Amino acid sequence: MLAYVLRRLLIGVVLAVLVTFITYLLLSGSFRDMVSTLLGPDVTAADITRRTHALGYDRPVVVQYVDWLGHAVRGDLGTSLFTSSAVAPTVLSHIVVTMSIVFPALLIAVILSVTLGVWAASRSGAPDRIAQSISLVGHVIPALLTAIVLVVVFAVELKIFPATGFVQFIDSPVGWLRSVTLPVVVLVIAGMASITAQVRGSMIEELSKDYVRTLRTAGLPARSIVLKHALRNAGSPALTVISLEFISLFSHSVIIENVFALPGFGSFAFSSAQNIDVPVIMGVTLVSVVLVTVINLIADVANGYLNPKARLH
């Protein structure tokens, strides 16, 4: 198990190096653009050359990359060229914000979807129609629309929740809760659609399997058959969807973050890419790779727990 995790992490490290290197290569064409943005509106080509040199962006790309990698290995991701703040802690602080909305949203979405999906699969009729309608609404109504309606109703008009901004949990737990509620609701609605459909589908399939009938012939109560046996077996495909949903929520949070003016990872990554803030882009890329690797690993380990056949030795 440990060996497996280590091997996967090693693959993650190799991927991280490859991805960051390719990103650096792609970025290398834009170093002068970055410097010109940095220097403000009325620059001359000579200014740009001077500053590019001062920052070391005129060295061979490979040298620069190895330099970056050397620092990154020691945990030093450099400082942002635009805010002059250290990249590593800044990236982390933005991840905290996005996690604060994505994680609760996913948790709630999973709980609701699984409940709904199981309910729909084991009792057709009204529950099934409710589950399918929720999927439909989630698919058809863009999150942006939900977001703006919620803001206008609950923040601007009723003033129950703040319209924008993020409060650190340690500063004020209540403030934190109020600041994440609306974005979480938006993401829950968006995330529930596919998870509910998936859980419903795999539960229906699972409940039609032979072992379910055999469990019934053993006189076991329906609750145990559905919730203990079928749900666990349906969990494996659902887990894949959940992990993909997590990555997707995380990476698409930029729009929601913009609407709620949350200083999250998505909008941070987006603005750094727009400015071509090279140290930040590299940090963001690295963190994304790590995140994807870790989430996939967690999903696979969890899958191994749920599904003994998938367990690796």
Residue 261 binding another protein, by CB under 8 A: yes
Q: In degrees to the nearest 10, what's the CA dihedral of 261, 251, 265, 95?
A: 120
257 touches 187 (CB < 8 A) = no
Q: Which two tokens stand for residue 70?
A: 């050397």
Rounded to a whole number of angstroms, the minimum distance from the CB of residue 4 to another protein is 16
The gap between the terminal CA atoms of the chain, to the nearest Å, is: 6
Pick the closer one to another protein by CB: 32 or 69: 32
Per DSSP, the three-state class of 79 is strand
Rounded to a whole number of angstroms, the minimum distance from the CB of residue 173 to another protein is 17
Per DSSP, the three-state class of 39 is helix
Residues 126-145 that bind another protein (CB under 8 A): 128, 133, 136-137, 139-142, 144-145
Residue 209 binding another protein, by CB under 8 A: yes
Stretch that binds another protein, among 58-66, 67-75, 105-113, 195-203 (CB under 8 A): 195-203
Rounded to a whole number of angstroms, the minimum distance from the CB of residue 286 to another protein is 10
Nearest Cα neighbor of 241 from 288, 205, 207, 192 is 192
Give the separation between CA 31 and CA 58, rounded to whole angstroms: 8
Rounded to a whole number of angstroms, the minimum distance from the CB of residue 210 to another protein is 4
Rounded to a whole number of angstroms, the minimum distance from the CB of residue 133 to another protein is 6
The secondary structure of 176-223 as a DSSP string is: HHHHHHHHHHHHHHHHHHHHHHHHHHHHHHHHTSHHHHHHHHTT--HH
Residue 298 binding another protein, by CB under 8 A: no
Rounded to a whole number of angstroms, the minimum distance from the CB of residue 25 to another protein is 10
- What angle is formed at CA 107 by the lines to CA 180 and CA 230, rounded to 5 degrees? 165
Task: Select from 106, 116, 292, 299 the one that contacts another protein (CB under 8 A).
Answer: 292
Task: Select from 1, 7, 10, 44 the one that contacts another protein (CB under 8 A).
Answer: 44
Task: Select from 130, 291, 301, 302 the one that contacts another protein (CB under 8 A).
Answer: 291
Residues 7-36 that bind another protein (CB under 8 A): 11, 15-16, 18-19, 22-23, 26-27, 29-30, 32-34, 36
Residue 174 binding another protein, by CB under 8 A: no
Residue 85 binding another protein, by CB under 8 A: yes
Pick the closer one to another protein by CB: 80 or 100: 80
Rounded to a whole number of angstroms, the minimum distance from the CB of residue 33 to another protein is 4
Q: How many CB atoms lie within 10 A of CB 42?
A: 6
Residue 211 binding another protein, by CB under 8 A: yes
Residue 156 DSSP symbol: I
Residue 74 binding another protein, by CB under 8 A: no
Task: Select from 2, 75, 170, 219 the one that contacts another protein (CB under 8 A).
Answer: 219
| DSSP-H helix ranges across the chain | 2-28, 31-39, 45-55, 61-73, 87-122, 126-140, 143-150, 173-207, 210-217, 222-223, 231-251, 253-259, 265-275, 278-306
Residue 109 binding another protein, by CB under 8 A: no
